[in-house]
Amino acid sequence: MTDTTIEKIKCLIVGSGPAGYTAAIYAARADMNPVLYTGMEPGGQLTTTTEVDNFPGYPDGIDGPTMMIHLQKQAERFGTQVRIGMATAVEFSREKGGWHKVIIDGNKEIHAHTIIIATGATAKYLGLPSEQRLRGGGVSACAVCDGFFYRGQDVAIVGAGDTAAEEATYLANICKSVTMLVRKDYMRASKAMQHRVENTPNLKVLYNTEVEEVLGDQVVEGLKMVNNQTQEKSEIKITGLFIAIGHKPNTDIFKGQLDMDDTGYLITMGKTAKTNLPGVFACGDVQDKEYRQAITAAGSGCMAALDAERYLNMLESH
């Protein structure tokens, strides 16, 4: 690769969800001339969500893809270059003021003084064809985002950990009934969360139970289930199915260079977006496994851009 093919920039943003686009808006307004690469899923997880009702400023709600187009246009209005492409390899500098190398799509090399990582996380699904077909038609991986649409209805949730227990009790507050499907004969959730589940009257737990098929043509109408001990099959009528078996942060290419927790989420320092390397910042779901909302991702995108701006100012003043 010759030097002529290397592009040198002040600020590279990797990822295009609410975190990446918000970082781009702030970075562009600070004259950092950011370049943003969209990644595999332009717009991030929100593009698989039909209605977004909980993002401030949209009194009538908005669908996820439209909201991402709005954010992109706003970032571009201030001069962000939005490009289709995916970071496939990185080589970060450990020196203050050093150039960070990023390879895009295996063939384009970019050197940047600051990198903002907003690659997000991917919800884990069961992998059933019927489940994938009905995503956005009643199958969701976020009860807090989509539970409202099933107010007063019968729903089911798959999962056994703290998140599943928390989402199940959240759904029980707004839905008529919640059926929780646990694959093993016990829950992994903490004792406190298990007690909360047990004490919720309209929440029923089925142990040793797996989904065989999600029923419905356009929207979810029911579930075919199987008891993995007795092989007994059963069906229930539901209008919403929530998958709460975890998320996988999109951090594989940063392994060995950036500090991560044991599940692969990037670790940021204190109340900042700073990673363990100078000039590398992380925001959104790639470093947040607690809240995972569009609004918190956007807020952390703002923080990352401000941190990156301060870092560049510090380099220029030395």
Starting at the edge strand found earlier in the chain, the sheet holding 209-215 runs 209-215, 222-227, 233-237
Task: Indicate which residue of 11, 146, 283, 307 is catalytic.
Answer: 146
26-45 per-position pLDDT tens digit: 999 999 999 999 997 888 88
Does the annotation mark 146 as catalytic? Answer: yes
CA distance readout (Å), 105 to 36, 42, 85, 156, 303: 14, 15, 6, 39, 28
Q: d(Cα 42, Cα 26) in Å, to the nearest integer?
A: 19
| pLDDT in the model for residue 1 | 44
**Predicted local confidence at residue 292, as pLDDT:** 86
Domains 3-122+247-317 and 125-243 share a fold: yes
Residues 125-243: name the CATH superfamily.
Answer: FAD/NAD(P)-binding domain (3.50.50.60)
Any alpha helices (H) in 51-102, and if so which ranges?
64-77
How far from 265 is each of 157, 271, 286, CA to CA, in Å?
Answer: 24, 16, 6
Does residue 283 carry a catalytic annotation?
A: no
Backbone CA torsion sign across 161, 165, 291, 139: positive
Task: State the Cα–Cα distance between residues 230 and 99, nearest whole angstrom.
Answer: 59
**Alpha-carbon distance 63 to 187, whole Å?**
34
Which residue in 3, 53, 63, 142 is the catalytic one? 142
Are 119 and 39 spatial neighbours (Cβ–Cβ below 8 Å)? yes
Q: Mean pLDDT of residues grouped by 10 in the chain (318 residues)? A: 75 97 98 95 76 89 92 98 96 96 95 98 93 93 90 97 92 97 95 94 97 96 97 97 94 97 97 98 95 94 98 92
Fold annotation for 3-122+247-317: FAD/NAD(P)-binding domain (3.50.50)
- The rounded distance, in Å, linking the Cα atoms of 103 and 118 is 16
pLDDT at res. 2: 44
Cα gap 204→208, rounded to integer Å: 13
Q: Amino acid identity of 267? A: I
Question: 119 φ, ψ to 5°?
Answer: -80, -10
Percent of the chain with pLDDT over 70: 98
CA quadruple 132, 265, 205, 199: dihedral positive or negative? negative
Which pLDDT value is given to residue 133? 94
- Give 167-212 as a DSSP string: HHHHHHHHSSEEEEE-SSSS--S-HHHHHHHHT-TTEEEETTEEEE
Contact 4, 109 (CB under 8 A): no
Secondary element (H or E) of residue 307: helix 294-317
Q: Is the pTM of this model over 0.85?
A: no
Tens-place pLDDT, residues 208-267: 999 999 999 999 999 999 999 999 999 999 999 999 999 999 999 999 999 999 999 999
Active-site choice (11, 145, 175, 283): 145
Is beta strand 203-206 parallel, antiparallel or unpaired with respect to 51-52? unpaired
Closest by CA to 209, choosing from 240, 184, 177, is 184
Single out the residue of 9, 20, 26, 8 nearest to residue 78, CA to CA.
Answer: 26
| Catalytic residue check, 175 | no
Residues 6+ apart with CB under 8 A from 73: none
Q: Is 170 exposed, middle or buried (0-12, 13-18, 19+ CB in 10 A)?
A: middle
Q: Give me the residue spans of the domains in the chain.
A: 3-122+247-317, 125-243
CA 135, 18, 92: angle at the middle one, nearest 5? 110
Residue with tokens 């918000």: 22
- Beta strand ranges found along the chain (DSSP E): 7-14, 35-37, 51-52, 62-63, 81-83, 87-91, 100-104, 108-117, 121-123, 139-140, 154-158, 177-181, 203-206, 209-215, 222-227, 233-237, 240-243, 247-249, 280-282
